[in-house]
Amino acid sequence: MSRIDLGREHQLAHAFVRLADTLVSGFDLVELFDDLIRTLVEIFDLSAAGLMMMDNAGKLRLVASSSERSRLVELLELQADQGPCLDAFGSGALVAVEGDHEQAQRWPALSRLLREAELGAAYGLPMRLREDTIGAVNLFHRPGETVATGDLVTAQALADVATIATLQARASRASVQLAEQLQAALNSRVTIEQAKGVLAERGKVDMQAAFDRLRGFARSHNLRLTEVAEAVAKGRLDAAEVLTG
């Protein structure tokens, strides 16, 4: 890495500014959430993270994950039914379940998957602003390690900024309702999965590489991730072009 290590405080400051920037600029919710998840994993040196959002039927759905490994994705998807995300979403409060035994008692199916995926302590951070809870963030550490209380507070603050950005977007465009935005973000996630499939098959790469190419292409061409994904899924943008950058 040629980049100078700025230290964690600098990284954090940058992350806050970047998230706050989405308050004023137009943004894609899926990209905002993806950015938040990556930032959390990097800054707190976590094993994995994910973000789940409520759909219109009130059920949690996966919108962003730190890795596209199918094992992690499945584990996150299970949290619609049990786990720290669901508990944090339901209570509106931070949930920390660090020990194997406690995990097994609270969430039997999830704790099995956690061990298989070699994940340890699990945390749920609500995405909540006053009376609105829109989803929850999931953090996982390596077995035997835990996240310090101070770090959890900071992580929650980052999640709060992302939540405010999401709700702010509603206030600034009166005609666009929160439900509409969340719905768009969920559909956008489906489009991204479809596009990943096209790229993975055409380029004979795995889902992680497919997502990275998609994201890289959107960034380098200054396009929204959702736009690029839709063009790829519909065949309006040649997969080969995205695969080669």
Interface residue list for other proteins (CB under 8 A): 56-57, 59, 61-62, 70, 73, 77, 80, 175, 177, 179-180, 183-184, 187, 190-202, 207, 229-230, 233-235, 239
Min. distance of Cβ 139 from other proteins in angstroms?
20
- In order of 69, 197, 234, the CA distances from 229 in angstroms are 19, 10, 9
CA dist., res. 122 & res. 194, Å (int) = 29
Min. distance of Cβ 40 from other proteins in angstroms?
20
Choice between 61 and 128, CB closer to other proteins: 61
Choice between 11 and 197, CB closer to other proteins: 197
CA dist., res. 195 & res. 45, Å (int) = 29
In sequence order, what are the residues at sequence separation of 6 or more whose Cβ sits closer than 8 angstroms to the Cβ of residue 154? 12
Would you say 128 and 163 are in contact if contact means Cβ atoms under 8 Å apart? Answer: yes
* Exposure b/e, 98-135, CB count within 10 A at least 16 = b: eeeeebeebbeebbebbeeeebbbbbbbbbbeeeebbb
Min. distance of Cβ 179 from other proteins in angstroms?
5
Min. distance of Cβ 94 from other proteins in angstroms?
25
Choice between 21 and 81, CB closer to other proteins: 81
Choice between 162 and 199, CB closer to other proteins: 199
CA dist., res. 153 & res. 158, Å (int) = 9
Choice between 147 and 192, CB closer to other proteins: 192
Min. distance of Cβ 5 from other proteins in angstroms?
34
